[in-house]
Amino acid sequence: MSTDGTTIVWFRGDLRVRDNPALHAAAARGDAIVCLYVLDDESAGIRPLGAASRWWLHGSLTALAGELRELGLPLTLRRGPAEAVVRAVVGETEATAVLWNRRYGEAERAVDAALKSSLRDDGLMVESFQASVLFEPWTVLTGQGGYYRVFTPFWRSVTSGPPPRHPVPAPAVSVARGGVATGAVTEADADAPPLRHRRVDSDDLDSWALHPTRPDWAAGLRERWEPGSAGAHERLRSFLRSGLGRYVDEQDLPAEDGTSGLSPHLRFGEISPFEVWHAVEQHRARVPGDASGASAFLRQLVWREFAYHLLFHLPSITTENMRPEFDRFPWEEPDAAELERWQQGRTGIPLVDAGMRELWQTGVMHNRVRMVAASFLVKNLRVDWRVGEAWFWDTLVDADPASNALNWQWVAGSGPDAAPYFRVFNPELQARKFDEHGSYIARYVPEAGTDAYPEPMVDLAESRRAALDAYATIR
Ligand code: FAD
């Protein structure tokens, strides 16, 4: 089918050309395509990105623009409240169709629903697709028709149903116009209609100032990461080659490179969970020795699904205690100087400090240490989990509205299926168990054990007791 019309593909948390059903469907329509990304810091309820995520987004959009260029498609950048911006681009291009991949946050869904209905009222074709989660939240329900509040039954339910669909290829580049079609990112398809684009005014990415300048704190991030699909697929390949077989033994060891490092790539949709899922399944079929690593890894991947399941069914998870008794918890008002000690990794507790410094330097923290550093804040310092969540939101390159909130509530004990409040991680025991040789701590806190290192800001045993006493008042 080839028409004179224009189709807008609105990119959001799906910054890729492979396994992008909205882009794929646009290509199949044969219209001229406008690829649009909107930086929306203004729509009601949309949480502005944190600083580390903004840094990542710059790299991710640069990479996406490069991939689209290979298909002969420019990327149009606009800024403002998404509904108004998309409508403006529809007006400028006289588009007849708008396609996107679905989002699951409450505010995002409200924007999308309003836009869908107003565009349809105007006679446009609007279609949305499943791309960012393997199991859409409304398709996984308990026997009573409700949603899951506990992970294991959720996992059982999703793994007893049909497997996730296979990834769709990138649009073919058979007759890509206006760009250099190398074919590097796609499969040539002789039957595919030519990809045509419609050029519209675009912001200059640099004008969005997503990168920090004064000071430029992003050197460690640049060293560790390559935002974009190429970096994501390289990480997946290397993890399958040498990480998956060791995953069961090493996933909890922060000194090792024992996990995939895919979280920021998944967060921005540079690789899809479908691509990851099927690559792991294919690897498992080829290398049966890695089967237990594959199962353990897919289970972790499904924690991300569970987080989105809860975000959809219980949107208040991002800001409110899931267990209402925690509304009465006597949190300590954080003193700015104390909070800074935690944020900057100067608590005097080596594993906590190592984690907080890893976060500041690289934009991520190992999962095991995230649990320990979060537990220290919420329990030993008795600071409300939302304070820690906000710091992670600002500093993590994988900061994710669903996973961040769920995990903080899990550590705090205020969520469903949470670690009970009385389980207070002991950072010293955790260090002995998971950083046996002290190499993770030595990497980030080389002065630990010398006079230059601060005394612990609280006594671990005493503050644990105080936390349990505080908990007793709300039980
Ligand atoms: P791998 O072990 O390779 O796991 C593969 C993928 O599974 C990850 O990329 C991630 O998408 C998913 N995953 C793994 N563990 C979890 C989990 N516990 N919850 C949800 N998804 C998971 N993860 C985020 O993606 N964004 C966040 O904002 C975030 N905040 C967190 C806050 C706290 C307090 C804690 C304890 C954990 C948080 N996590 C968050 C979960 C987890 O720490 C990271 O997903 C993981 O460290 C990413 O490293 P990886 O990609 O190498 O993981």
Residue nearest to atom 20 of ligand 1 (CA): 304
- Give me ligand 1 centre to Cα 278, in Å: 19
Q: Is 9 in the pocket of ligand 1 (CB under 6 A)?
A: no
What is residue 390's three-state secondary structure? helix
**Token pair for 451:** 């006079």
Tokens 């807008």 appear where?
8
Name the residue of 49, 135, 259, 263 whose CB sits within 8 Å of the most ligand 1 atoms, as the mutation to test its pocket: 263
For residue 416, which of 138, 160, 161, 152 has the smallest C-alpha distance? 152
Q: Is 414 in the pocket of ligand 1 (CB under 6 A)?
A: no
Residues 7, 34: contact at Cβ < 8 Å? yes
Length of the chain: 475
Q: State how far the Cα of 50 lies from the Cα of 79, in Å rounded to an integer.
A: 17
Instruction: Please state the pTM of the whole predicted model.
Output: 0.96
Q: Is 301 in the pocket of ligand 1 (CB under 6 A)?
A: yes
For residue 307, which of 377, 369, 398 has the smallest C-alpha distance? 398
Where is 403: in which H helix or E strand? Answer: helix 401-412
Which atom of ligand 1 is nearest the CA belonging to 301? 7
What are the residue boundaries of the structural domains of the chain, listed by start?
A: 1-131, 133-168+229-313, 324-472
For residue 393, give Cα distances in angstroms to 53, 54, 254, 437, 467. Answer: 8, 11, 21, 31, 25
Q: State how far the Cα of 315 lies from the Cα of 178, in Å rounded to an integer.
A: 43
List of E strands, 14-147: 32-39, 75-79, 97-101, 125-129
Residue nearest to atom 10 of ligand 1 (CA): 263
Q: Is 40 in the pocket of ligand 1 (CB under 6 A)?
A: no
Name the residue of 407, 410, 411, 417 whose CB sits within 8 Å of the most ligand 1 atoms, as the mutation to test its pocket: 407
Pick the CATH number of 324-472 from 3.40.30.10, 1.10.579.10, 3.40.50.880, 3.40.50.720: 1.10.579.10
Residue nearest to atom 9 of ligand 1 (CA): 263
Any idea which fold 133-168+229-313 has? Answer: 1.25.40
Q: State how far the Cα of 278 lies from the Cα of 295, in Å rounded to an integer.
A: 12
Q: State how far the Cα of 99 lies from the Cα of 24, in Å rounded to an integer.
A: 10
- Give me ligand 1 centre to Cα 363, in Å: 13
- Give me ligand 1 centre to Cα 252, in Å: 12
**pLDDT at res. 423:** 86
For residue 411, which of 401, 423, 427, 398 has the smallest C-alpha distance? 423
Divide the 475 residues of the chain into consecutive groups of 10 and give the mean pLDDT of each group.
82 98 96 97 92 98 97 97 97 97 97 98 98 98 96 97 96 55 45 82 97 89 97 98 97 97 98 98 97 98 98 97 96 94 98 98 98 97 98 98 97 84 93 98 97 97 96 91
**Token pair for 338:** 């104390």
Name the residue of 104, 247, 367 whose CB sits within 8 Å of the most ligand 1 atoms, as the mutation to test its pocket: 367
Q: State how far the Cα of 455 lies from the Cα of 464, in Å rounded to an integer.
A: 17
Report cis status (omega within 30 of 0) of the bond before 169.
Answer: no
Annotated binding site for FAD: which residue ranges?
Answer: 247, 259-263, 297, 398-400
**Token pair for 201:** 């005014």
- Give me ligand 1 centre to Cα 71, in Å: 32
Q: Is 36 in the pocket of ligand 1 (CB under 6 A)?
A: no
Q: Is 259 in the pocket of ligand 1 (CB under 6 A)?
A: yes
User: For residue 366, which amino acid is it?
Assistant: H
- Give me ligand 1 centre to Cα 30, in Å: 39
Any idea which fold 1-131 has? Answer: Rossmann fold (3.40.50)
Are 1-131 and 133-168+229-313 equal in CATH topology? no
- Give me ligand 1 centre to Cα 403, in Å: 7
Task: Say whether the ipTM exceeds 0.90.
Answer: yes
